[in-house]
């Protein structure tokens, strides 16, 4: 079996987060082409692809407060609408991947995911493993989930990756967003912000890094949540390396996947 890499296309990257349900189809097509080029050059490389919900699921989820729990007829309607919005974006991404020649199989997380008070506790991961074994590229995404405390909630792609990583053991995880990694402040608002090239769990524990939230609507926590989830993961599994890169810059995703020594972004690893 070839090397396994998890790749997420962030919601802020593939949608216009200032306008509801607007996909950046040109960006999605380019990123699909970059992934296809990597697969053509390294056919033994295996991928689990994921994407965020951006201005599709997040806008609806925020309107109904779905992340915090689901109660009553109106809340469950919001749960269903959030799931439908996330699935619409997933179809756009899946079609772009297929058009680029990638044998993508879209897998709906909410069909099997179960949570306990906001924490993902079960998911039918064996179907993803089987898909990889026959040469398919599974595509998952941020989605709703049933929750035995909250009724329902929303799970992010990072949470799905963190659940799957100990089971499938990727060598690295690449998170592609708008900005080139983790910065000392929000680079979209502060021109003096500096990129952090390497980040470890200890850096976060000691408070050396100030984590910014999302610049748009993000009910799952923005950059702060991503870094927290990923640093917790590399603390538990020391041989996994995480790259946070900009997918807006052509070629940056390709580097992080195929040649991480040349990647431009922030590397999250167990130790510097």
CB 92 within 8 Å of CB 53 = no
| pLDDT of amino acid 209 | 66
Element (H, E) at 80: helix 72-99
Give φ, ψ of 50 to 5 degrees: -145, 165
Smallest Cα–Cα separation from 152: which of 65, 226, 69, 92? 69
| pLDDT of amino acid 214 | 54
143-198 pLDDT, tens per residue?
Answer: 999 999 999 999 999 999 999 999 999 999 999 999 888 888 777 778 888 888 99
Joined together, the tokens standing for residue 210 give 């100030």
CATH number at residue 91: 3.40.1160.10
Angle between helix axes 54-64 and 72-99 (nearest 10 degrees) is 170
| pLDDT of amino acid 208 | 66
| pLDDT of amino acid 210 | 59
Smallest Cα–Cα separation from 48: which of 168, 134, 178, 143? 168
Distance CA 52, CA 223 (A): 13
Bridge partners, residue 268, by sequence: 199, 242
| pLDDT of amino acid 211 | 60
Domain that holds residue 63: 4-268
Q: Is 107 helix (H, G, I), strand (E, B) or coil?
A: coil
CB 58 within 8 Å of CB 18 = no
| pLDDT of amino acid 213 | 54
Number of domains in the chain: 1
Low-confidence ranges of the chain (pLDDT < 50): 217-218
Claim: this prediction has a pTM higher than 0.75: yes
| pLDDT of amino acid 184 | 80
Q: Is 181 helix (H, G, I), strand (E, B) or coil?
A: coil
| pLDDT of amino acid 212 | 56
Smallest Cα–Cα separation from 159: which of 216, 233, 224, 107? 233
| pLDDT of amino acid 186 | 76
| pLDDT of amino acid 242 | 97
Phi-psi label, residue 129: left if phi above 0, alpha if psi -120 to 50, beta otherwise: alpha
| pLDDT of amino acid 77 | 97
| pLDDT of amino acid 157 | 97
CB 24 within 8 Å of CB 15 = yes
């Amino acid at each position: 079996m070839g090397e396994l890499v998890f790749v997420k296309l962030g919601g802020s990257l593939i949608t216009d987060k200032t306008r509801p349900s607007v996909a950046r189809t040109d960006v999605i097509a380019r990123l699909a082409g970059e992934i296809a080029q990597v697969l053509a050059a390294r056919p033994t490389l295996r991928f689990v692809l994921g994407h965020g919900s951006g201005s599709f699921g997040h806008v609806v989820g925020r309107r109904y407060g779905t992340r915090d729990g689901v109660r009553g007829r109106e809340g469950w309607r919001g749960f269903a609408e959030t799931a439908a919005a996330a699935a619409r974006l997933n179809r756009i991404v899946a079609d772009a991947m297929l058009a680029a020649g990638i044998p993508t199989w879209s897998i709906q997380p909410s069909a099997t995911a179960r949570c306990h008070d906001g924490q993902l506790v079960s998911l039918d991961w064996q179907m993803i493993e089987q898909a990889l074994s026959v040469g398919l590229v599974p595509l998952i995404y941020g989605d709703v989930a049933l929750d035995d405390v909250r009724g329902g909630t929303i799970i992010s792609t990072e949470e799905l990756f963190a659940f799957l990583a100990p089971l499938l053991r990727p060598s690295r995880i690449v998170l592609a967003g708008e900005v080139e990694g983790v910065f000392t402040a929000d680079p979209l608002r502060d021109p003096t912000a500096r990129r952090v090239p390497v980040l470890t769990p200890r850096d976060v524990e000691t408070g050396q890094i100030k984590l910014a939230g999302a610049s748009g609507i993000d009910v799952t926590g923005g950059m702060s949540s991503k870094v927290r989830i990923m640093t917790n993961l590399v603390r538990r599994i020391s041989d996994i390396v995480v790259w946070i890169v900009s997918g807006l810059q052509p070629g940056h995703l390709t580097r992080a996947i195929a040649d991480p020594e040349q990647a431009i972004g922030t590397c999250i690893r167990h130790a510097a």
